[in-house]
């Protein structure tokens, strides 16, 4: 028995849609799509492959162990080296070139210190803050190193950034 | 007559059933605490599925130094004027006005502009003056002040992935909302959908970009860059599936809140000490 023409035509159309649909699907949908969910699974590994830049202080201590110990025992213990020494140390076994070619000298301006220690009403009151630099000098610094007090006095003239606390009794 | 009665009875009972169903559906979602504890991921997955990441910000500790913003820019090459994380300063004056500012996202801290310029000059060896404009101007005594670091909240019920037409934005099995840049078509639906303003369209790549909780770091056992550099411990990060982790302890002992809880986005970035004026 011969199939009616309209049925044949419908079958052809269905077959065409099936083939075309699959061709489009496989050429447009990436291979790993749906591996872990409704997204391209391979992207997880791609995102993961990027090289980390900030490495924390411990990696600096591998060479500068005394400096690190000094810092860690002082009030700046929780501040990582790279916060002041700008260029984060991105080097490791595979990327040793990241340091020491890069300049590691820190910002020695007052701004570098006051970015954390300028008094703001929004800062937690227990955090050490300087409300007015001139007053701070008048009350403290005069007792310390007179030769530095002037228009170009910097915080770092009195405070060692690696161990900033000064025992006034001892020095005064 | 009878038929009509039957119909009325049917409509009544149907109405009751629908109302009942609606009530079941509209039952309150599990609370914060429960959501934190009931996370499960399948067994035979790669090791990065063995985690469920969570972020915690202690606003009472933040000093607004902006180290996190600077670190984030370096770690993720975030283009100028765009931010994956930023810090907002809140100053509430005697007259109960809330002054909010975030000059350059807090990138150069919050020093008054004139002071910053002056100090930069005195310092000579400095690395350039701060660029940030837009500090809040106000008179009157600040009676209450604090800093609020902000970023992508990696919401579990996130609107940003729901609107993506090509599934470029998605939530990874370990709870991080990521953008597949090879799929993103830059339509910026997600930028508009995010109620926290966490997303932007990258000016050169023309694809959506946002905080990834430093996925390339956390999957290698490192902390996100912003957590690594925060000198006060205001930013904390950890794995909910690690029962002995510090974050687990903090989450179960501290008083938590999230940003815009009324939106039901289920953020996984929790806050300690969040003031009600924070939006
Ligand atoms: S904070 Fe915004 S970008 Fe992040 S998950 Fe929530 S909606 Fe998406
Ligand atoms: S680094 Fe820490 S203390 Fe500094 S602004 Fe960021 S969250 Fe606040």
Tens-digit pLDDT profile for residues B217-270: 998 889 999 999 999 999 999 999 888 889 999 999 999 999 999 999 999 999
B254/chain A closest Cα distance in angstroms:
18
* Contact residues on chain A for B216, CB-CB shorter than 8 A: 47-52
Domain final residue pick, A89, A106, A123: A106
B126–A108: do the CB atoms touch at under 8 Å?
yes
Number of domains in chain B: 1
Please tell me the distance between residue A22's alpha carbon and the centre of ligand 2 in angstroms: 52
Query: Which ligand is in closest contact with the Cα of B258?
Result: 1
Please indicate, yes or no, if residue B277 is contained in any of the structural domains.
no
- Kindly state whether A32 is in contact with chain B, defined as any CB-CB distance less than 8 angstroms: no
Domain that holds residue A19: 5-49
Inter-residue contact B154 to B268 (CB < 8 Å): yes
The pair of three-digit structure tokens given for residue B213, joined into one six-digit string: 């909780």
Q: What is the pLDDT of residue B111?
A: 86
Which residue pairs from A83-90 have beta carbons closer than 8 angstroms and sit at least 24 positions apart in sequence? Answer: A83/B67, A83/B229, A83/B231, A84/A112, A84/A161, A86/B127, A88/A53, A88/A54, A88/A55, A88/B71, A88/B74, A88/B75, A89/A55, A89/A59, A89/A60, A90/A51, A90/A52, A90/A53, A90/A55
The pair of three-digit structure tokens given for residue B77, joined into one six-digit string: 């090459």
Between CA B231 and CA A79 the distance in angstroms is 5
A153 and A114 together in one domain: yes
For residue A95, name the pLDDT band (cuts at 50, 70, 90): low
For residue A50, name the pLDDT band (cuts at 50, 70, 90): confident
The pair of three-digit structure tokens given for residue B253, joined into one six-digit string: 């002992």
Q: What is the pLDDT of residue B3?
A: 60
Please state the pTM of the whole predicted model. 0.82
Q: What is the pLDDT of residue A52?
A: 84
Number of domains in chain A: 3
Q: Which of A19-28, A124-133, B107-116, B160-169 has the lowest mean pLDDT?
A: B107-116
Between CA B41 and CA B58 the distance in angstroms is 28
Inter-residue contact A74 to A80 (CB < 8 Å): no
pLDDT tens digits for B16-60?
776 665 554 444 444 444 444 444 444 455 677 789 999 999 999
Residue whose C-alpha is closest to residue B71's, from B206, B211, B171, B272: B211
Q: What is the pLDDT of residue B151?
A: 97
The pair of three-digit structure tokens given for residue B3, joined into one six-digit string: 């038929």
Asked if pLDDT for residue A135 goes beyond 70, the answer is: yes
Using CB atoms, pick whichever of B167, B225, B233 lies closest to residue A78: B233
Asked if pLDDT for residue A141 goes beyond 90, the answer is: no
Give the HSE-up count for residue B17: Cα atoms under 13 Å, Cβ half-sphere. 6
For CA atoms B141, B143, B149, B155, the dihedral sign is: negative
Q: What is the CATH number of the domain that holds B65?
A: 3.30.70.20
Q: Which of A89-98, B1-10, B183-192 has the lowest mean pLDDT?
A: A89-98
Asked if pLDDT for residue B147 goes beyond 90, the answer is: yes
B111–A53: do the CB atoms touch at under 8 Å?
no
* Contact residues on chain A for B168, CB-CB shorter than 8 A: 39
A97 and A120 together in one domain: no
For residue A143, name the pLDDT band (cuts at 50, 70, 90): low
Using CB atoms, pick whichever of B67, B71, B111 lies closest to residue A111: B111
Does the Cβ of B66 fall within 6 Å of ligand 2? yes
For residue B8, name the pLDDT band (cuts at 50, 70, 90): confident
Between CA B258 and CA A147 the distance in angstroms is 52
Q: What is the DSSP string of chain B?
A: -HHHHHHHHHHHHHHHHHHHHHHHHTSPPPPHHHHHH-----SSS-GGGG--EEEEEETTT-----HHHHHHHHHHTPPTT--SEEEEEEEEETT--EEEE-GGGGTT-S--HHHHHHHHHHHSS-S-------PPP--S-EEEEEEEEEE----TT-HHHHT-TTS-EEE-TTS-EEE-TTT-----HHHHH-TT---EE-TTT-SEE---S-HHHHTTTPPPHHHHH-TTS-EEEEETT-TT-HHHHHHHHS-EE-SSGGG----SEEEES--TT--
First to last CA, chain A: 116
Does the Cβ of B155 fall within 6 Å of ligand 1? yes
Q: What is the pLDDT of residue B213?
A: 97
Q: What is the pLDDT of residue B155?
A: 96
Q: B interface mutation test: which of A72, A79, A120, A157 has the most B CBs within 10 A?
A: A120
Parallel, antiparallel or unpaired: strands B169-171 and B142-151:
unpaired
Q: What is the pLDDT of residue B123?
A: 43
Residues 34-73 of A with CB under 8 A from B: 36-40, 43-44, 47-56
The ipTM of this complex is 0.81
Query: Which ranges of A29-172 would DSSP assign to H, the alpha helix?
Result: 42-48, 58-61, 65-73, 81-84, 110-117, 133-139, 155-158, 168-171
Please indicate, yes or no, if residue B170 is contained in any of the structural domains.
no
Asked if pLDDT for residue A152 goes beyond 90, the answer is: no
Query: Cα B85 to chain center, whole Å?
Result: 9
Between CA B147 and CA B151 the distance in angstroms is 13
Between CA A136 and CA A130 the distance in angstroms is 7
Domain that holds residue B249: 49-156+210-272
* Contact residues on chain B for A54, CB-CB shorter than 8 A: 71, 74-75, 217, 225, 228-229
Query: Cα B263 to chain center, whole Å?
Result: 13
- Residue that has been written with the tokens 């953008």 in this structure: B179
Please tell me the distance between residue B230's alpha carbon and the centre of ligand 2 in angstroms: 5
A42 and A10 together in one domain: yes
A123–B91: do the CB atoms touch at under 8 Å?
no
Residues 6+ apart with CB under 8 A from A49: B216
Using CB atoms, pick whichever of A49, A124, A151 lies closest to residue B61: A124
Q: What is the pLDDT of residue A55?
A: 79
Q: Hey, whose CA ends up nearest to atom 8 of ligand 2?
A: B62
Q: A interface mutation test: which of B94, B122, B275 has the most A CBs within 10 A?
A: B122
Q: What is the pLDDT of residue A170?
A: 54
For residue B125, name the pLDDT band (cuts at 50, 70, 90): very low
For residue A18, name the pLDDT band (cuts at 50, 70, 90): very high
Q: Number of CB pairs < 8 Å for A and B?
A: 149
Inter-residue contact B203 to B78 (CB < 8 Å): no
Using CB atoms, pick whichever of B67, B75, B215 lies closest to residue A53: B75
The pair of three-digit structure tokens given for residue B197, joined into one six-digit string: 């303003």
A40–B183: do the CB atoms touch at under 8 Å?
yes
Between CA A11 and CA A113 the distance in angstroms is 79
A61 and A89 together in one domain: yes
- Kindly state whether A146 is in contact with chain B, defined as any CB-CB distance less than 8 angstroms: no
Asked if pLDDT for residue B113 goes beyond 80, the answer is: no
For residue B201, name the pLDDT band (cuts at 50, 70, 90): very high
Q: Hey, whose CA ends up nearest to atom 8 of ligand 1?
A: B160
A85 and A142 together in one domain: no
Please indicate, yes or no, if residue B4 is contained in any of the structural domains.
no
Query: Which ligand is in closest contact with the Cα of B208?
Result: 1
A61 and A96 together in one domain: yes
A92 and A123 together in one domain: no
Does the Cβ of B109 fall within 6 Å of ligand 2? no
The pair of three-digit structure tokens given for residue B192, joined into one six-digit string: 């508009």
């Amino acid at each position: 028995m011969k199939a009616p023409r309209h049925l044949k035509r419908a079958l052809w159309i269905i077959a065409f849609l099936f083939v075309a649909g699959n061709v489009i699907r496989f050429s447009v949908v990436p291979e790993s799509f749906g591996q872990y969910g409704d997204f391209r699974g391979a992207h997880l590994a791609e995102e993961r492959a990027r090289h980390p830049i900030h490495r924390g202080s411990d990696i600096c201590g591998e060479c500068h162990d005394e400096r690190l110990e000094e810092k860690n025992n002082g009030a700046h213990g929780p501040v990582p080296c790279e916060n002041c020494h700008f260029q984060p140390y991105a080097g490791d076994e595979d990327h040793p070139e990241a340091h020491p070619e890069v300049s590691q000298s820190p910002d020695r301006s007052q701004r570098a210190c006051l970015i954390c220690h300028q008094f703001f009403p929004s800062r937690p009151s227990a955090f050490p803050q300087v409300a007015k630099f001139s007053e701070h000098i008048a009350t403290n610094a005069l007792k310390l190193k007179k030769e530095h007090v002037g228009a170009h006095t910097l915080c770092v003239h009195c405070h060692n950034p690696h161990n900033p606390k000064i025992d006034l009794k001892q020095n005064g | 007559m009878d038929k009509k009665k039957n119909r009325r009875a049917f409509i009544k009972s149907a109405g009751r059933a629908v109302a009942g169903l609606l009530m079941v559906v509209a039952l309150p979602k599990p609370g914060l605490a429960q959501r934190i504890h009931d996370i499960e991921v399948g067994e035979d997955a790669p090791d990065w599925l063995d985690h469920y990441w969570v972020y915690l910000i202690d606003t009472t500790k933040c000093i607004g130094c902006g180290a996190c913003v600077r670190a984030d820019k370096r770690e993720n090459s975030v283009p100028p004027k765009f931010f994956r994380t930023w810090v907002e300063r809140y100053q509430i004056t005697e007259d109960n006005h809330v002054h909010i500012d975030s000059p350059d996202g807090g990138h150069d801290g919050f020093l008054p502009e004139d002071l910053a310029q002056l100090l930069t000059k005195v310092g000579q060896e400095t690395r350039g003056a701060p660029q940030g404009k837009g500090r809040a101007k106000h008179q009157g005594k600040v009676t209450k002040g604090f800093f609020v670091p902000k970023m992508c909240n990696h919401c579990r019920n996130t609107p940003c992935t729901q609107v993506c037409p090509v599934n470029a934005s998605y939530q990874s099995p370990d709870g991080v909302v990521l953008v597949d840049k090879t799929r993103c078509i830059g339509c910026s639906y997600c930028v508009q959908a995010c109620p926290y303003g966490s997303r932007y369209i990258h000016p050169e790549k023309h694809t959506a970009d946002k905080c990834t909780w430093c996925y390339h770091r956390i999957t290698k056992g490192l902390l996100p860059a912003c957590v690594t550099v925060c000198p006060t411990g205001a930013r904390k990060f950890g794995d909910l599936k690690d029962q002995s982790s510090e974050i687990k302890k903090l989450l179960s002992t501290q008083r938590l809140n999230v940003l815009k809880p009324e939106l039901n986005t289920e953020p996984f970035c929790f806050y300690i000490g969040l003031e009600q004026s924070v939006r």
